[in-house]
Chains A and B, each alone.
Chain A
């Protein structure tokens, strides 16, 4: 089965090519083809996963691509336990979102193209996941970035969407630059891109003692690679693109900007975990942990003050990605990946639920909604399940994974643990704020007539809800934590389950829910008073810690100023020179034209005239009578004879 792994990315790619080629003429205007592609990939992934459960060995498919000297560039796929988990997440969540999109995008004029992009994204993401070397991974990494760009800007007529897609592309590119440097550094020091060889060499101490600018080389490499993850997974300080990316269609937000692509950063860190782990004094892991914790807390605070339902979820995504990073950074390899998996399911569910709500209300503003629980029961219940999972209420999925991360943090760094706990409280708070605003009470908008979405949209919701509710059990300690057995890092042992930490986590969630209920449902403390009481802190959070303003002042404006200056230079100096050359050329051309007309043309016409006149005269010689010609021949013979005789 693992030999067939190469088919997994190829299937969506074929679907993509078919849709691009034949478009709306395909069954379901291309949607069925796309769903077939990802569905078959999902079946294959499940098969491979089941095989993995049976203890199948890691499988590598390697093709020598460019051999040179001692080394070579390889193209290859690697199927191991980490891969299978990611494959499952990507293909199952992806399939659900594909199906959902049929309903959500139903009236869109670019319906077919949407599915082509989605398929291309799926293929790229699966390639990224399956890559067995850094180069291949990087290729997939950039391809998903491209798809993200295309899909954020799917409504490119909207200037905000076009701007958001550009912002996402450029911002992630900053991180990618660091990652690329890291990859090059790996290649130049170790001479290979393949993970297996890299790990073997690093494990054997190939980079030990090497220093770059006073820092251990391995740490530098790991942090550079992590730079890519910061960009892709929207960690502080490159997180600003993700909220803007919500301009894209909601299924895209669910698939790319919640479940899969943004998790690619986390996956990449897990994939190259050995580099982080071996860095002296866990230096690189400390960076990862701190960035993750800061991101988790900061994004959670911003999420509290957002009114756009998708932006709340976007900041929540950033926060949860921070959680994953924190887990990885706190030596919780399995914990981070576990949270990635559970998060993919419940965050996709939440986004699709939000999409369903937006579909019904035609607005993103949660303050304009309200009372939707009665109008949209399926959406409400599934959204509630997702919220509970995200808030970390047992036994829903989020609880188990979050608890593991908290446990790791508790064991290794109390300060980070406190931040994570605060983030958990805020998570519960802002999610239930959304619930209360959206589904409870009465409708505040008077010209909306909410209705339940069609079955093609609600059924994926229920499937994802089932996963969100139950998937956490694979990591439940009282079941022996099978996830840990399936996926773990050599030499790392998870700390034992602690009732204290678990209760503290549940307590934080419960407090968050209670606080949200107090403010937004029972209105014990009106939210306006709370806002005034917070004062400057609220302003700070509402402006998202002024990150966008900072970047505008520090990067965007100077760049624009330089560009303007260069434009002036272009217009007045370069254009002038070019125009001068142009005018000179024009003048010369006019001269040449005169020369052409009177000299060249004259000569040509003269030749033509001569030929014509001579032909006109000589044609009388051609009588068409053979005997005239024969006489000429006879005369010729006479002349020749005479010439021979009287020489």
Chain B
């Protein structure tokens, strides 16, 4: 029961702030409410026994990416951007499409009998994740590192002020 209560609280925090992210006229407010959303999701991860992923979520998402987004907003919109119309003319068709999609996805999720494989998650996952990355997922690890490097350089090249 405790878990369910925690899940409901976390879900409400996450979804409400996510709605603010999506719907706010003020772009700065959107960016800032991204932080409770991401923190809520981190809480969900903890509920799912993924404390290491939760830590990374807080560090990278709630910390780095949000700050990056705020910086870009400051550089481009000269402030909140409230002067501009923030949504385009697709609001109505978009809403309908999203609603239908949500209904369909839910139908799929509810209509599926999910199997369950044997085994239990370890008590602390950080060690196991590290081992997995350096053994069976080594290729994924290396390729991801390489993509990260390339993205780093690409971002620098693209954002550099041209002469």
Task: Point out residues on A near B: beta carbons under 8 Å.
Answer: 627-628, 631, 634-635, 637-638, 641-642, 645
Whole-angstrom CA separation of A642 from B100 in the bound complex: 10
List residues 78-104 of chain B with CB under 8 A from any CB of chain A: 88, 90, 93-94, 97-98, 100-101, 104
Whole-angstrom CA separation of A279 from B85 in the bound complex: 122
Interface pairs (17), CB distance under 8 Å: A627-B88, A627-B90, A631-B90, A631-B94, A631-B97, A634-B97, A634-B98, A634-B101, A637-B101, A638-B100, A638-B101, A641-B101, A641-B104, A641-B105, A641-B108, A645-B104, A645-B107
Which A residues are CB-close (under 8 A) to B97? Answer: 631, 634-635, 638
Which A residues are CB-close (under 8 A) to B111? Answer: 645
Which B residues are CB-close (under 8 A) to A634? Answer: 97-98, 101
Contact assessment for A645 and B88 in the assembled complex, using a CB-CB cutoff below 8 Å? no
Contact assessment for B90 and A638 in the assembled complex, using a CB-CB cutoff below 8 Å? no
Which B residues are CB-close (under 8 A) to A637? Answer: 101
A624 to chain B, nearest CB (A): 14
Whole-angstrom CA separation of A645 from B88 in the bound complex: 31
B20 to chain A, nearest CB (A): 21
Which A residues are CB-close (under 8 A) to B108? Answer: 641, 645
> What are the 7 closest A-B residue pairs judged by CB atoms, nearest first?
A641-B104, A634-B97, A638-B100, A638-B101, A631-B90, A635-B97, A645-B107
Contact assessment for B93 and A631 in the assembled complex, using a CB-CB cutoff below 8 Å? yes
Whole-angstrom CA separation of A635 from B105 in the bound complex: 13
- The 8 A CB mask of B113-130 against A (1 = contact, 0 = none) is 000000000000000000
Whole-angstrom CA separation of A645 from B94 in the bound complex: 22
Residue of A nearest to B88 (CB): A627
Which B residues are CB-close (under 8 A) to A642? Answer: 104
Residue of A nearest to B101 (CB): A638
Which B residues are CB-close (under 8 A) to A641? Answer: 101, 104-105, 108
A263 to chain B, nearest CB (A): 89
Residue of A nearest to B111 (CB): A645
B50 to chain A, nearest CB (A): 28
Which A residues are CB-close (under 8 A) to B90? Answer: 627-628, 631
Residue of A nearest to B94 (CB): A631
Whole-angstrom CA separation of A627 from B94 in the bound complex: 10
Whole-angstrom CA separation of A642 from B90 in the bound complex: 22
A628-B90, A634-B98, A637-B101 known; 12 other A-B pairs, CB under 8 Å? A627-B88, A631-B93, A631-B97, A634-B101, A635-B97, A638-B97, A638-B101, A638-B104, A641-B101, A641-B105, A641-B108, A645-B111
B101 to chain A, nearest CB (A): 5
Which A residues are CB-close (under 8 A) to B104? Answer: 638, 641-642, 645
Which A residues are CB-close (under 8 A) to B94? Answer: 631
Whole-angstrom CA separation of A641 from B88 in the bound complex: 26
B96 to chain A, nearest CB (A): 10
A533 to chain B, nearest CB (A): 118
Which A residues are CB-close (under 8 A) to B98? Answer: 634
Whole-angstrom CA separation of A637 from B98 in the bound complex: 11
Whole-angstrom CA separation of A271 from B97 in the bound complex: 108
Whole-angstrom CA separation of A634 from B111 in the bound complex: 22
Which B residues are CB-close (under 8 A) to A631? Answer: 90, 93-94, 97
Which B residues are CB-close (under 8 A) to A628? Answer: 90
Which A residues are CB-close (under 8 A) to B93? Answer: 631
- Chain A CB count within 10 A is highest, among B93, B98, B104, for B104
Which B residues are CB-close (under 8 A) to A627? Answer: 88, 90
Whole-angstrom CA separation of A4 from B104 in the bound complex: 100
B32 to chain A, nearest CB (A): 24
Whole-angstrom CA separation of A631 from B94 in the bound complex: 7
Which A residues are CB-close (under 8 A) to B88? Answer: 627
Residue of A nearest to B98 (CB): A634
A639 to chain B, nearest CB (A): 10
A644 to chain B, nearest CB (A): 8
Whole-angstrom CA separation of A561 from B30 in the bound complex: 111
A262 to chain B, nearest CB (A): 89
List residues 29-49 of chain B with CB under 8 A from any CB of chain A: none
Residue of A nearest to B97 (CB): A634
Residue of A nearest to B104 (CB): A641
Whole-angstrom CA separation of A315 from B93 in the bound complex: 115
Which B residues are CB-close (under 8 A) to A638? Answer: 97, 100-101, 104
Whole-angstrom CA separation of A645 from B97 in the bound complex: 17
Whole-angstrom CA separation of A637 from B103 in the bound complex: 13
B86 to chain A, nearest CB (A): 13
Residue of B nearest to A642 (CB): B104
- Chain B CB count within 10 A is highest, among A628, A637, A641, A645, for A641
A99 to chain B, nearest CB (A): 78
Whole-angstrom CA separation of A158 from B111 in the bound complex: 109
Whole-angstrom CA separation of A628 from B97 in the bound complex: 12
Whole-angstrom CA separation of A641 from B102 in the bound complex: 11
Residue of B nearest to A634 (CB): B97
Residue of A nearest to B100 (CB): A638
